[in-house]
Chain A
């Protein structure tokens, strides 16, 4: 693996303040949940690269895209790239969602949607429509929703009721459980803001669903050398060590592995 410079093809406005930054390939085969460290080739205004899930990828790897919401200096610099300018990629990094789960229930909040488009494509290739519960504050915050048309069975929730279920995405999951659309014993893949993932994990535990979370932690290196992105963990996989590097053993953890 090498860091490599890729030209921006286009910056697609997904609405809600988010963008799909599409870059030239080659983009290596990447599993849903794996991530890349990104920075601009020139005029990078900060020090450290920033981690992003791969959002989409051409089947032949000739292009790939990242879902980016400009919220800080680094993300703003990425979104300010013009077509033809260079983005430096390091990846794919980290561990994906478990491959052996056949028909997971996916739950996304905001830009936590990012890892699920690749998964929807994978499932589609196997003749299955991904089940996706996608929550945001408002309709506008459901950035990227249209990209799942024809690829997934999407249920949405908005806090203000402007699209889909009125309420939080956890309430939507609860509703689906009550209606039998999701059943105990099923497996949830979740990615979104920390409070949302926390609530989803709690609900899953209460309703006997296995739950895997893709964490977004602050990272410096992304390749296992800084020990800065650690989270508190428990369980066999960690052989008694209380911390785990999100970039190496994560970013996907089973909820029961995390200590809050």
Chain B
């Protein structure tokens, strides 16, 4: 009922952690049984250690928050030696249950760095890679890769050549047309797309006459961006044939199912984990209840907005007003 697939990757359920919002999962292990989530996605790992951006790094905003952490992490050597074994421990199945997939989010400043990371983590036997083409908090004033279709395609293609595990490309919403970038990533061979990263935003403290965040701008996340994320997942799912992982402000089973209807095969939970560290497991339980009550499955709901209205479907799941026809991408 809850199982889903991301290309060749099987997930017990569609609930994943969003990169950068749950560390490696290790700090959150005490709050719930993480063996029950679909996948754990690591905070972005870079080739070399990154100290991150100067504080203040976060600010709550209406229905969301801004962050400019700046990919603080201790680098790939440390991650492989210290963090990955812990993630594996969390992901170890129990009682015949397979446990969550381990997805490593990699961040490079060049194609060569992405390739090096893809090689090392493939060799380490992780379940999948998520390529962070889109962190808004690094490289002063410009975005990495994901605002330029050719760069996106080149980076993804290089990662695909180096990787022996499924590769998901994480897309930026800070573009004119996300479907152009999505298609470029698909063209580059991505096995799936994660949409969306944070929206670039800013908070100002007029009394001190300066931006609130140390770096000035940051990435907006939380329920505030959910309608934008849903729209972009909907558009991306319609324009590619590879699976889409939805992310952006989900904090309940209903939110997850909304993303699934829009075309997501799995959904990441991010900012809401700060409020409730046990939330992913609660969502898994609620999903089971919702789907049982509605007599449906993730597989059946997935992308239903893209299918022609079906007389058998409950009203409201396939609004004829904007459901396109003839796009069978996720059907």
Q: Is the CB of B275 within 8 A of A218?
A: no
Q: Is the CB of B60 within 8 A of A48?
A: yes
Q: What sequence of 0s and 1s flags, for each residue 172-195 of chain B, a beta carbon within 8 Å of any chain A beta carbon?
A: 000000000000000000000000
Q: Does B211 contact A (CB under 8 A)?
A: no
Q: Does B239 contact A (CB under 8 A)?
A: no
Q: Is the CB of A47 within 8 A of B69?
A: no
Within 8 Å CB of B28, what residues of A? 223, 225
Q: Does B168 contact A (CB under 8 A)?
A: no
A2 to B56, CA, bound (A): 28
Q: What sequence of 0s and 1s flags, for each residue 47-75 of chain A, a beta carbon within 8 Å of any chain B beta carbon?
A: 11100000000000000000000000000
Q: Is the CB of B63 within 8 A of A226?
A: no
Q: Does B222 contact A (CB under 8 A)?
A: yes
Q: Is the CB of B69 within 8 A of A90?
A: no
A243 to B31, CA, bound (A): 26
Q: Is the CB of B58 within 8 A of A218?
A: yes
| Tally of contact residues, A, Cβ under 8 A | 30
Stretch at the interface among B19-27, B254-262, B295-303: B19-27
Q: Is the CB of B55 within 8 A of A232?
A: yes
* Nearest chain A residue, comparing its CB with the CB of B22: A225
Those of B37-95 within 8 Å (CB) of chain A: 43, 51-52, 54-60, 63-65, 67, 69, 72, 74
A101 to B223, CA, bound (A): 45
Q: Is the CB of A231 within 8 A of B274?
A: no
Q: Is the CB of A47 within 8 A of B58?
A: no
Q: Is the CB of A225 within 8 A of B23?
A: yes
Q: Is the CB of A3 within 8 A of B278?
A: yes
Those of A190-230 within 8 Å (CB) of chain B: 217-230
Q: What sequence of 0s and 1s flags, for each residue 222-260 of chain A, a beta carbon within 8 Å of any chain B beta carbon?
A: 111111111110000000011100001000000000000
A101 to B277, CA, bound (A): 33
Those of A91-130 within 8 Å (CB) of chain B: none
25 residue pairs from A and B, CB less than 8 Å apart = A1-B31, A2-B278, A3-B277, A3-B278, A47-B60, A47-B63, A47-B65, A47-B275, A48-B274, A49-B274, A49-B275, A217-B55, A218-B59, A220-B67, A220-B274, A222-B274, A223-B31, A224-B23, A224-B27, A225-B21, A225-B27, A226-B274, A227-B57, A243-B51, A243-B72
